[in-house]
Amino acid sequence: MAKTNHSNVYLVRHIALDTLRVAKVIRKADMDSDTILREARLIKNLKHSHIPVIYDIEEDDISICIIEEYISGKSLRSYINDTDNIKTSEICDIAVKLCDILEYLHNCDNEIIHLDIKPDNIIIDEHNNDSSSNVTVTLTFTNHFFERISHQCSLVNWVDIENEYYKALKELLQEENYQKQNESIHTLNKEFDSVKRLLEKYLTRITENTELKKHQSIQDAFSSYVEFEEVATCKQTAFINSFFSNMDIRFDFDIDRHGDLSYNECLTKDEELRYYIDKKLNNDNFKKENLIPNTLILNFNYTKTAEKLYIKNGNDKIINIHGELNNENNPIIFGYGDELDDDYERIERLQNNDFLENIKSIRYHKTRNYRKLLEFVALGPYQVFIMGHSCGNSDRTLLNTLFEHDNCLSIKVFYRQYEDGTDNYIDMIKNISRNFNNKPNMRDIVVNRESCSPLVPVKKEVAE
């Protein structure tokens, strides 16, 4: 059935019982035989309908042989690859069974931690889709919004919870019975709040148990210059003029203009300024002093990951625009933020505040975070780096404010790169375009792909 450097796995038949078994033969010379035997005897005492039975353990001077129950089926990985459109109920069924197994293992007298749960090690047998099997699990949802998002996701797809909430909100606009509409929006908000609390609890747990890893590519991006060729053509004059708020540069410009006859070829003052800056951009000291900007990290994901890894000096700032985990002074904002949507005006005209309960632009008023962002973008020209944000519609109000602001020089995408060599740059551009009202400006402001780079490059194996 299988072969590794240390063991062979055979499908065998019990002669007296005429029943198939699995025989795992492990060579003692290659493994810690005491550990193998101890684990096997521990598992032999387990009694659970979804854990294969160990019938016998034999050994000699050379090897250990473990006889196990044979499960006719395929690995979860193969099952996923071979099955189209796996039903949500089946996904939940598998997940519940796995949780049941883990709960059993963790509650044994000698607690057992598996440490290798993965699709290759999970067998799906012929009873998995058998409605008459007594191991099938049926889920009944008390939270109907959670049921809605559960039906939208699968093992190979994810669901935008905030988008689903807004869709549910708009569906309630069609309800003509005011009392029923009022009751429905109240229930929807209550259920959505329950999902939000579960999200916060989940993120708290994984951030506490996850080792943070700094990526050099992201660190390099924070330390990079604002490159002139990345500045939108419609913003280049404003970019050049921004240098001359510095008195030292203005003084140096006056001296340079009188010592360089090439200035005589410039027809306008703007051309003189452009010529001067073009010269200076070849000077590394000038670039270091004037083109490495102060950085504002606008954090959307509730955690302190970016702050811990990439805030490198006192000039860099971070705004947790959507709040922080377990911080009552900056509670998480989870909802929808698209005032540009055609139906948003209808929602406001309802005169029902429950419909605005989870609108982000309303929630922003609870803290000064949004005001701090506006103060930053008003200081002068800035370049936007997009790292990990999908730029979906749930943040369209905020992103439109950033992208179409007069001070926005350009938008540079750090795209996701996949192992097969493809990436999501074009998908990002599609999402970004929805945040612009002025499409010609969008095509000028967004940096083209050849000047962008992956957020974390995929390492390619070098052929020997």
Burial code (b: 16+ CB inside 10 Å, e: under 16) for 276-308 equals bbeebbeeeebbeebbebebbbbbbebbbebee
> Do β-strands 63-69 and 453-454 pair in parallel, antiparallel, or remain unpaired?
unpaired
pLDDT score recorded for residue 127: 55
pLDDT value of residue 314: 67
Q: What is the pLDDT, as a whole number, of residue 464?
A: 43
The yes-or-no verdict on residue 440 having pLDDT over 80 is yes
Q: CA-CA distance, 223 to 99, in Å (whole number)?
A: 45
Handedness of CA 44, 46, 47, 52 (dihedral sign): negative
Each residue of 348-394: pLDDT tens digit? 998 899 999 999 999 999 999 999 999 999 999 999 999 999 998 88
Of the given ranges (12-21, 64-73, 113-122, 295-304), which has the lowest mean pLDDT?
113-122
Positive or negative, the CA dihedral 251, 254, 257, 259 is negative
Give percent of the chain above pLDDT 70.
92
Most confident of 84-88, 115-119, 161-165, 243-247: 161-165
Cβ atoms of residues 12 and 29 within 8 Å: no
Instruction: Work out the mean pLDDT of the chain and round it to a whole number.
Output: 86
Neighbours of 410 (CB within 10 A): 24
- Average pLDDT of 162-172? 92
Query: Looking at residue 367, what DSSP letter applies?
Result: S
Q: What is the Cα–Cα distance from 266 to 275, expressed in whole angstroms? A: 8
C-alpha pair distances (Å), 202 with each of 183, 207, 305: 29, 9, 15
Q: What is the mean pLDDT of residues 11-38?
A: 83
CA 250 to chain centre: 45
147 neighbors 89 (Cβ within 8 angstroms): no
- Quote the tokens at residue 406: 């007069």
Over residues 424-438, the pLDDT tens digits come to 999 999 999 999 999
The pLDDT of 3-11, averaged and rounded, is 81
For range 205-233, the mean pLDDT: 88
Tell which residue, 295, 299, 235, 301, has the closest CA to residue 446: 235
Which pLDDT does position 426 carry in this prediction? 95
